[in-house]
Chains A and B, each alone.
Chain A
Amino acid sequence: MSAPRTFAQKVLERASGETGLKPGDIVDAYPDLYMSHSASWRCIKTLERMPGRELYAPERIAMVMDHLSPAQTSRTAAHHQLCRRFAAEHGIEKFWDVDAGIAHLVLMERGHIRPGMLVIGTDSHSTIYGALGAFGTGVGFSEITATWVTGKLWMKVPESIRVIIDGPLPAGVFPKDVMLRLIGQLGADGGTYCSLEFHGEWVRGLSVSERSTLCNLSMELGAKNAVVPADTVTETYLAELGVLRDAYDPSLPDPDAGYRETVRIDGTRLPPQVACPHTVDNVRPIDEVAGTKLDQVFIGSCANAKYDDLAQAAAILDGRRIDPSVRLIVTPGSKQILTRAIADGIITKLLDAGALMTNPGCGACAGDGGVMADGERTLSTANRNFRGRMGSYESEIFLASPATAAASAITGEITDPRPFVTRALTRSAT
């Protein structure tokens, strides 16, 4: 009988064909999916320098034009054109153009991500695929190109950290707040090179969208990957997409697998959290930063621009107006999310409150549209607040939940959403 194994050990053993792997071992793994977003053109240009090389598995290539979309310069347009032509020429079926949305969300909602898969992506937030029980990890574009032609990539077997979150969370507090607290507690390198496994009853009760916020933000701890082990929530989500249980091997961690440490966080009395400039681990409870004047509020990104994120913001903004001193930019994570939010009246509520809607994609999170001037401040639902990421090097980014973003847009300053959430709940009950 083999020794108990973590999720990471199981996935990397399957993907490498090796057995008995220990943390620190380096293997050649064969990923199941290679995601390249707007960096795809860099992969194609790199491939052009390797004449005569065939693609190992075109069906494992996924390209999504999400950053800098639609193109605002002819240089970017040429990059998109290169990707389109390449996809057509090589029969890349998982090609999603500028209308689709953020790569991570598109691939998840289209059924391309399945439990137990090893997914590499040209984006650090590829950790998000753990929301569907997959092993997702970010790599450079040369590595994607190399994998296109060889099918394999060197990977180190990570140590694993077990994270247990106790809930339920108070009204007005969300998975984003839990993750910001965790990042503040462990630091920006608290999970470097580790596989984070989220466990516990509260986690098992979360939707795939909520799980994706946990796994996405795990990158800001330096994690190699993050996962909520697949369960009935995962199974139901995938079944609705037509992906049935016999189409994947969830690679569930063994109960007595070896973890570097167990981190436990109590969410039951957690106040809303805010990450302050210019690092994601500079986290304060909302009381300490409430009242900070804002120029812009951004609801977007792969961390928090999903349907439920927009719904939470709309519930707070419903029937209210944003403060005239701020711009509220809302960028839905994907076209599917936008379509559903239009059908449910959420977009109308946001527009009526004074929001500016943009097309689905990465948008202002990646500094594309919605950038700031010197001295300006944005409160954002994204996952990074590095200096200059959203425009001027002399601007500031604060990170928080969509609820905090909506409440702050109403007042024009960083604002605790809890009183607004209570009122929204009261109103919807009557």
Chain B
Amino acid sequence: MTAQTQIDSAGAPAQGRCIKFGDNVNTDVIIPGRYLVSIDPVELAEHAFEPLGPEVQQRLRRSKVVVAGRNFGCGSAREQAASCLIGAGIQAVVAVSFARVFFRNAINTGLIAVECPEAVAAAGDGDVVTVDYTAGSVTVGEGSYPFTPYPAGLRAILEAGGLLPYLETTAGGGR
């Protein structure tokens, strides 16, 4: 039932065609509340972006990277907003900015989420986008755009494939 993980320990780049959205894409659009009865990324992926219609859903399926404007993932704390994208085959989200819970959920489910406004401006819907997490850059066509790398602690979680796999690799600090 797990569709993780996007990042292997070598930190291989995420690369592929992108699907581009505008500002303030909210969690109810990413995965409607009626489907939160599941936590299976693959089952959830069938309903990802359902409110926007089948054409958008088909394009999502053909994409590896989501490109979005400001405040991507605003709204609910539902973790499935990140995991449904993983289930749909998305490897990375590049946005101008993220809503904070979505950002947390992305890191904690092992989905690369980087803020890179220049790359968003450069990318057109359907362009091939490469997110080189290790190098800290997003490549769109001829252009390469740097992003601020995560702090070490968050990076360790992401590289483990998410928070729970990360805990399995550590003593966890329990009482």
Contacts and interface: CB of A to CB of B under 8 A. Distances in A.
B163 interface: yes
Contacts of B50: 388, 393
Nearest to B105: A140
A123 B77 CA distance: 5
A79 B39 CA distance: 12
A56 B175 contact: yes
Interface string A101-127: 000000000000000000001111010
B75 A146 contact: no
A138 interface: yes
A358 interface: no
Give chain A's interface residue range (CB within 8 Å of chain B): 35 or more
Interface string A384-414: 1011110001000000000000000000000
Interface in A227-245: none
Contact of B164 (A50, A57, A152): A50
A222 B74 contact: yes
Interface string B58-90: 000000000000110011111100100000000
Interface stretch (B6-14, B26-34, B117-125, B132-140): B26-34
Interface stretch (A89-97, A186-194, A292-300, A418-426): A186-194
A79 B82 CA distance: 21
B99 interface: yes
Contacts of A393: 50-51
A283 B34 CA distance: 26
A306 to B, nearest CB: 21
Contacts of A427: none
A387 B77 contact: no
A367 B174 contact: no
Contacts, number: 128
A150 B173 contact: yes
A386 B167 contact: no
Given A26-B151, A123-B77, A154-B154, A146 B37 contact: no
A42 interface: yes
Given A50-B164, A79-B37, A145-B164, A154 B153 contact: yes
B160 to A, nearest CB: 12
A122 B105 CA distance: 11
Given A192-B71, A384-B75, A366 B167 contact: no
Contacts of A150: 167, 172-174
B100 A193 contact: yes
A215 to B, nearest CB: 15
Nearest to A42: B39
B74 A189 contact: yes
B97 A151 contact: no
Given A139-B104, A154-B154, A386 B77 contact: no
Given A42-B39, A79-B37, A222-B100, A388 B77 contact: no
Contacts of B3: none
Nearest to A76: B37
A54 B175 contact: yes
Contacts of B157: 154
7 contacts: A139-B77, A142-B79, A151-B173, A222-B99, A224-B100, A279-B26, A388-B51
